[in-house]
Each structure stands twice: as C-alpha cells, then as structure tokens.
C-alpha cells in the first residue's frame, strides 16, 4: 500500500566533506525558504561552530527551533540523540520543513538508514526524508583527491572489495554515492576543463543525481528540495547503502565513531588572550601543519579588540573575516542590557577580556596536538599577556 505523505514534514539532509561549504549553503537556503523551518546542526567538535555561524548569519534562524548536536557524528556516536531530536520535531505544529546539516565526516548512508529504520518503526510519524544533498568542494577534489578517486574508480570497476574504509577518499566516495542531489561548490576556483574532469570522476560513482554548480553555496532552493520521499531503492545497494544498513547492527560503530574508522580526530584550542595578527597570519600562511584537514572558530586580534573574527581552513584554503562585535565592545548601557537577557554569556565573562576568546575546533589526521597548541600560543600578543 502506498504511503500517504500529505501534511508530513519533509526532511532535507545536507552532507559533504569537511570544508565543502555545507553551512554556507544552508545559510543561503534559509534566506530563500518561506516555510517554517527547524534545524538540526551536527559538528564533530566539542563546540558547535556551525550552529554559531548560522545563529550570527542566518536570516531565519532566530525564528525557528535549532537543535545542536556536537562532539560526535549523527551517523554513529550521536545516532540515538539524532533520532530523539527528529521525533521531537515531528510533534511540533510550528514546523513545516526540517533541514539537517551533518558533520563533515558523517556517512550519509548510515544517517539515512537510521532515518529509514525510524520511519519503519513509527509509520505514523509526521516527518519523512526527501533529499540527501551532498556538497562537493570542486577545488579540493581537483587539487587533493582526484588521483585517489581515479584509482578508486578503476578498482571499483574490477574489484570493489579492495577499497579500504581507512582512507579519507573512501568517505568522500560514500558521500557522493549516497545522495539524490549534488552541489558542486567553489566552481569559481577551477576552469571549465578542470570542472569537467571533476564532474566526470563524480559520475563514475554517482550516475543518477543531478549536479548543480555553485559559488559560495548559491543555488536555487527549488533545485534540491522536493515533496517526493527519498527513494532508497534507486541507490546502489552494493556499497554505501548496504554498508550503512549493516552498520545499524554493528555494536562497535556507535562506540568507535567516525574518528576511529577514518583516523580523523579533533581538539579545541581555547585561549582568552588575543592573537598578534602578524604572527597568526604568518603561522597560517607559512607554517600551517599539512596534517590538518579543517579548522574553524572565532578569534580576536589585539589590534582590533572590538571585532569577532571567523577563521576557517579547509585543505589548502583559509580565510579570516570580521563577522560581528564582541559584547564587551558595546556601549555600557547596551552591554548591561545584553547581559541581563543572556545570563549564559555573563557566566563565562572574564574580568580582563569580557566575552572575548580564541576558540578553534581543529580537525586532522596524524597531527601532533602539543606542537600545534604550542605554535598557536606563540602567536599570542605578548603585550596583552603582560
């Protein structure tokens, strides 16, 4: 019997490797979305930086419920918590559509399998999965992973059992394979020939999903949203989906998590004192560890103590931009009013620096945490330390 999806809330899952542009895409979608939205934002770090970015920049975020899941992935260690939040949202009359931003190392097959199991166990639920959108960093695929993916395509044609899950490129393949829409982002960084090469290798793994080119995550929301339920049967059962469904019964998956499977781990660098701008930029531009895959967070410089700076690094690309003001930089009356209505900020207030803090989530593979921490501390402003 055909299921009735009338009056149910469609769920859009946004996935993609670290730094591909998922949060930027989601911000752009929120600006276009006219329906009442609920958000689930997952970040593998112990600080949910993606959620903070959305709060500061997303035009509709203040008007919709947001559920933040951090320090793990919704495909494994946070699977149960993810389903709990989905169930909570399903009962909200104030929500019409749900957007889920997975962490950069989440396996969309596992997330979707969890959702499928939930739908089957709860046939009367008011939510259903419609879109699995994979955001692909065109520039990074071309510069860093193209050779590995070509080798995988050749192996897959002969013996796909030879593929090793420990390689990061396997994760990228899983994300490309298991979706019904692909957003090929950062297309402005490649020429037409290079883009064609990237698109060709994507088609080796994903022959069906439409590919939409974008710059800064700018696409029409109608291109990747639908009212049709996600069609699991159209996805090859040989690789991503079968592995995902099998993983539901693997006891080690929930405890081991993505960091164990792919060798990726993270830590948080936190320091109240400001960075010296010149030292920090020299570290980023000239001495940045190659083992780091992704870093993001809010920082401040001693020469601009009123400004919140957002630092982001993904592969060979990095940026620093001013995104807001520190509360302590406001006029006294505004500051006190803000603190009165936001007691959580007041609890973390520092006598010398107020709410200013350098707080970076750092993600990588095979890095030396102590060495990186020491390097970052050497970038602090000595005058502010004295």
- 196-232 b/e with 16+ CB inside 10 Å = b? ebbbebbebbbeebebbbbeebebeeeebbeeeebeb
Pairing mode of beta strands 358-364, 292-301: antiparallel
* Contact present, 19 and 31 (Cβ < 8 Å): no
The answer to whether residue 2 sits within a structural domain is no
Residue that terminates a domain, selected from 220, 241, 257: 257
Residue that terminates a domain, selected from 231, 257, 283: 257
Angle formed at CA 317 by CA 315 and CA 318, multiple of 5 degrees: 115
CA distance 303 to 234: 55
Q: What is the H or E stretch that residue 271 is in?
A: strand 265-271
- One domain, residues 377 and 294: yes
Question: 218 phi and psi, to 5 degrees?
Answer: -90, 105
- One domain, residues 311 and 373: yes
CA distance 209 to 235: 10
The answer to whether residue 1 sits within a structural domain is no
- One domain, residues 233 and 99: yes
The answer to whether residue 310 sits within a structural domain is yes
Residue that terminates a domain, selected from 225, 257, 289: 257
CATH number where 279 lies: 3.30.1220.10
The neighbouring-strand residues paired with 127 are 9
Instruction: Please name the residue that has the structure tokens 């933040």.
Output: 68
- One domain, residues 307 and 249: no
Q: How many domains does the chain have?
A: 2
Give the predicted TM-score (pTM) of the model.
0.70
Host domain of residue 283: 265-385
- One domain, residues 269 and 230: no
- One domain, residues 175 and 280: no
One pLDDT digit (tens) per residue for the chain, 386 residues: 456 677 899 999 999 998 899 988 998 898 888 888 888 888 766 666 666 766 655 445 445 677 888 778 888 888 899 999 999 999 999 899 999 999 888 888 888 888 888 998 998 999 999 999 999 999 989 987 777 776 666 665 544 343 333 357 778 888 998 899 999 999 999 999 999 999 988 887 788 899 999 999 999 999 999 999 998 776 654 344 444 445 555 555 555 556 555 667 788 899 999 999 999 999 999 999 988 888 888 999 999 999 999 898 877 778 898 888 899 999 999 888 888 887 888 888 999 999 999 999 888 888 999 999 999 999 999 776 54
Q: Tokens for 250, please give them.
A: 């693997």
- One domain, residues 84 and 115: yes
CATH number where 98 lies: 3.40.50.300
- One domain, residues 368 and 335: yes
């Amino acid at each position: 019997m055909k299921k009735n999806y009338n009056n149910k809330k469609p769920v859009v899952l946004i996935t993609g490797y670290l730094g591909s542009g998922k949060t930027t895409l989601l911000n752009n979608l929120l600006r276009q979305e006219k329906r009442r939205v609920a958000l689930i934002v997952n970040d593998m770090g112990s600080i949910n930086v993606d959620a903070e970015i959305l709060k500061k920049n997303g035009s509709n975020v203040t008007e919709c419920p947001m559920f933040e899941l951090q320090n793990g992935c919704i495909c494994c260690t946070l699977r149960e918590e993810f389903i709990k939040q989905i169930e909570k949202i399903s009962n909200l009359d104030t929500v019409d559509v749900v957007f889920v931003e997975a962490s950069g190392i989440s396996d969309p097959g596992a997330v979707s399998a969890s959702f499928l199991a939930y739908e089957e166990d709860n046939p009367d639920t008011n939510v259903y999965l419609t879109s699995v959108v994979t955001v692909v960093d065109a520039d990074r695929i071309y510069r860093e992973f193209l050779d590995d993916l070509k080798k995988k395509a050749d192996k897959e044609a002969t013996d796909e059992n030879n593929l090793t899950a420990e390689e990061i490129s396997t994760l990228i393949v899983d994300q490309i394979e298991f979706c019904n829409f692909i957003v090929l982002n950062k297309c402005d960084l490649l020429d037409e020939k290079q883009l064609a090469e990237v698109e060709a290798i994507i088609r080796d793994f994903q022959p069906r999903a439409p590919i939409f080119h974008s710059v800064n995550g700018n696409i029409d929301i109608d291109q990747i949203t639908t009212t049709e339920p996600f069609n699991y049967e159209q996805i090859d059962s040989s690789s991503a989906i079968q592995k995902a469904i099998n993983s539901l019964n693997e006891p080690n998956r929930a405890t081991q998590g993505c960091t164990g499977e792919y060798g990726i781990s993270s830590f948080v660098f936190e320091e109240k004192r400001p960075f010296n701008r010149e030292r920090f930029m020299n570290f980023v531009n000239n001495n940045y560890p190659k083992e780091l895959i992704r870093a993001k967070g809010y920082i401040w410089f001693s020469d601009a103590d009123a400004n919140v700076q957002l630092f982001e690094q993904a592969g060979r690309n990095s940026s620093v931009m001013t995104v807001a003001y520190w509360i302590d930089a406001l006029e006294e009356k505004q500051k006190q009013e803000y603190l009165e209505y936001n007691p959580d900020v007041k609890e973390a207030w520092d006598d010398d620096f107020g709410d200013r803090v350098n707080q970076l989530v750092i993600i990588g593979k095979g890095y030396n945490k102590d060495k990186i921490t020491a390097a970052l501390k050497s970038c602090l402003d000595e005058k502010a330390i004295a």
